Amino acid sequence: MKILLLSFYDLGKQPKIISELHQKLSNGTNQIDIVDYSIEEKSLVLTDYDALGVYASMHTASVLAEEFLRGKRLPDKLFVFGLYAKVFSEIYSNFNIIQNFESEDLESLLKVKLNSEYSFKHSVPDRTVLPPITDYSHIVDGSNNLIAGSVETTYGCKHECTHCPVPIEFKGMFKTFGTEKIVQDVSNQVEAGAKHISFNDPDFFNGPKHALKILELLNSKHPKITYDSTIKVEHILKYPQYFQELKDLNMLFVISAFETTNDQVLTILKKNHTADDLKSAVELSLENSIDIRPTWMPFSPWTEIKDLINIINLIENYKLRETVAPIQLTIKLLIPKNSLILSSKEMNPYVGDFDPTSFSYQWNYHNPEIDTLQKQLFKYVLDNESIDEYEQYLGLVDIVESHTGVSLIKDAEYIKRSVPKLSETWFCCSEPNKIQLDRIKSNKALI
């Protein structure tokens, strides 16, 4: 059987799951081709294949997949996998959802014997079937571009933040990957040139003891390798002793979803943190010399003008200009099918029709003035994509100052720092915008 596996975007990382599926499908007779359109340009006749599998890793990937497949003739056997598989199949109902490679679903769809040796929890992915990690997101450390790899210690998440796509699929549950699988996968990537590893877990501290045990093992085996991870504010504050340990284990920075300083919105999103907690988390990171790179979602139906002022004040007070990707200050709430936020009574007055091409529901602002500000900020980033991020940030602050009449830059002597970051700063819970889509399509996501 000729099987084609397509990936469109996996946050600048190698689509590891495709290599795992390749292993599962490898039975000695299947011919399996892989194309990752986030870094490759290949023209394909899809009907040359007996089966097509699409990796709907997240929202942007699904939008790109939909654009790619629109109007094309497709093979007879179609399947979709990944976090957005269900969302994708709402639009493409002829695609079968395969969420568990170890269930019989794939075998009965393709009518082929699958490799029973493969274990999602324990088998080490064979990444050699994918484009090399050198083609993906790098770590930018001052003037150096270092090869970065990625790994997960867990999948799923034990939380149910209402705006997040993860609980739609995982319903507040997470599972761990086997230690040997993780350590060997990292060792293989180090062998392939990786100097840095990103932990892709939705939250590195969902199982903090498991995560730290893995990090300690990795650090003893590869003492020069650095890391980054994503940890929610609630967990940073709940486990300060574990957070402290990260610095000695080469954790370069921690991404944390701050979202907004508006406590009413944080409650609706069920983030389990408050605006004051953001300050405590930043203070803990400063005490432990680990940069927090906050992600934001300032724009939702309930946004008030003062939220933008408070967000910028927090960035300014703690000197975080370099750790905030400017695009973050323009991010809007994204509402896919089955989003938990649809059952929130606060959402009802604002939600509109479902737009199949963007895989999301339209919504309105309580205060239409906010829409104008968001569009202005977004246009600024769009028009100034080529300038330095630090300058972009100052440009955005200037717009908020003009809009509100409030002076926000108080430190004229601000000393700009050079901080490590990934060359691809894209986060899965946010609406893709034209910049990201164009960058991915033109393979410009990477430095």
Q: Give 92 or 242: the residue with its C-beta nearer to ligand SF4.
A: 242
Residues that bind ligand SF4 in the complex, under the rule CB under 6 A: 157, 159-161, 164, 166-167, 202-203, 232, 257
Using alpha carbons, select from 341, 202, 338, 208 the residue that is nearest to residue 270: 341
Helix (H, G, I), strand (E, B) or coil at 283: helix
Ramachandran region, residue 325 (left: φ > 0; alpha: ψ -120 to 50; beta: rest): beta
Using alpha carbons, select from 22, 58, 17, 14 the residue that is nearest to residue 38: 14
What is d(CA 114, CA 378) in angstroms, rounded to the nearest whole number? Answer: 47
Q: Give 39 or 257: the residue with its C-beta nearer to ligand SF4.
A: 257
| Shortest reach from residue 25's CB to ligand SF4, in Å | 29
Is there a contact between 135 and 446 (Cβ–Cβ < 8 Å)?
yes
| Shortest reach from residue 140's CB to ligand SF4, in Å | 24
Q: Give 161 or 396: the residue with its C-beta nearer to ligand SF4.
A: 161
CB burial of residue 316 (10 Å; 0-12, 13-18, 19+) = middle
Dihedrals φ, ψ of 356, to 5°? Answer: -65, -30
Q: Give 24 or 232: the residue with its C-beta nearer to ligand SF4.
A: 232
| Shortest reach from residue 331's CB to ligand SF4, in Å | 13
Using H for helix, E for strand and C for coil, what is the string for 375-405?
HHHHHHHHHCCCCCHHHHHHHHHHHHHHHHC
| Shortest reach from residue 59's CB to ligand SF4, in Å | 13
Q: Give 144 or 343: the residue with its C-beta nearer to ligand SF4.
A: 343
| Shortest reach from residue 267's CB to ligand SF4, in Å | 14
Q: Give 81 or 205: the residue with its C-beta nearer to ligand SF4.
A: 205
CB burial of residue 29 (10 Å; 0-12, 13-18, 19+) = exposed
| Shortest reach from residue 356's CB to ligand SF4, in Å | 24
